[in-house]
Structure 1
Amino acid sequence: MAKRSRRKPMAEINVVPYIDVTLVLLIIFMITAPLIQSGVDVDLPQADAKDISLEDLPSPVIITVTKEGLFYIDLGNGEDDDAPVSATEVLHLTKAVRLNKPATQVYIRGDKEVEYGKIVTIMAALKEAKVPNVGLMTENF
């Protein structure tokens, strides 16, 4: 009778499934990275200061202007408010947020078909709220 040989247990880890998962994640990130919205690219002046960690920065205030000319505001507090607001309400809400957290950044996200006057109205309200810098959000190609 032939003796059956027992296989020894394999002590190696099969890494092929991990490589497959890593490749799929890499492809997903490569496809979605250009879709992420970002601000306008500018050259900032250099200063001797220590780096600020992102945890220290408060969530930004994002004001959205639709092509119909309606204003929406995201105060960065995690609450979604789908009700349009007036320019006066934008002024008061932004002023209140910056009073509590002066380092809060303010961004305007406007539809490409919005009237120029609507953007100017919001920027005037933000100037009245004493916002020193306003960022304009764009999409990358």
Structure 2
Amino acid sequence: MASLNARHGTRRRTINEINMVPFIDVMLVLLIIFMVSAPLITTGVVDLPTVGKAARQPDRVIEVVVGADDVLRLRVDGKEDAARITLKELAARVGALQGGSADAPVIIAADRNVRYEQVVKVMDTLQRAGVQRVGLAVKATGT
């Protein structure tokens, strides 16, 4: 038989195909392993901060209003000061309104069209001035 192949000059050729059966077998085994182990994985719990109710209303609320044109104004106890202030004047004005008490709350209220960078600059200026309680005003939407 070997002489017959040698006489005719036929040779076995290699097959250039990928055998997919072992690949599919491995994928099915991995799929089963993941399906069995998925319910056993414990999910992480994220503790989000909650908004608590204050025991009493603060004596004085100072609000820094950042307008859409990056103009700063001050509002004390709901009464808005008509004068514009600069970022450099902000620390001195807030310090004077706090009356030496660094614990008086300061709230930053910004228009929705204000760049976030401007709000961060206001927060940084207040922090450098020694203001300890700085908050952000949020507008609650009813759904």
TM-score range, shorter chain: 0.5 to 0.7
TM-score scaled by length of structure 2 = 0.56
Instruction: Give, in whole Å, the separation in 2 of the partners of 1:44 and 1:111.
Output: 22
Provide the secondary structure at the position in 2 that maps to 1:135: strand
* Residue 103 of structure 1, CA deviation: 2.9
RCO higher in structure (CA 8 A, sep ≥6): 1
> What code does the residue aligned with 1:66 have?
G
* Residue 83 of structure 1, CA deviation: 1.7
Report 1:33-112 matches (<5 A): 42-43=49-50, 52-54=55-57, 57-76=58-77, 80-112=80-112
Q: Percent identity?
A: 20
TM-score scaled by length of structure 1 = 0.56
Q: 1:130 to 1:123 in 2, by over 3 A?
A: same
Q: Which runs of 4+ in 1 moved over 2 A?
A: 41-45, 51-54, 96-103
What are the superposed Cα offsets for residues 33-88 of structure 1, whole Å, 9 maximum, x if unpaired? xxxxxxxx94269xxxxx8543xx32111000011110001233x75421211011
Gaps of 5+ in 2: 1-47
Provide the secondary structure at the position in 2 that maps to 1:130: coil
Gaps of 5+ in 1: 1-40, 46-50
Q: 1:109 to 1:44 in 2, by over 3 A?
A: closer
Instruction: Give, in whole Å, the separation in 2 of the partners of 1:61 and 1:107.
Output: 6
Instruction: Give, in whole Å, the separation in 1 of the partners of 2:109 and 2:51.
Output: 21
Instruction: Give, in whole Å, the separation in 1 of the partners of 2:75 and 2:101.
Output: 15
Q: How many residues are treated as equivalent by the alignment?
A: 93
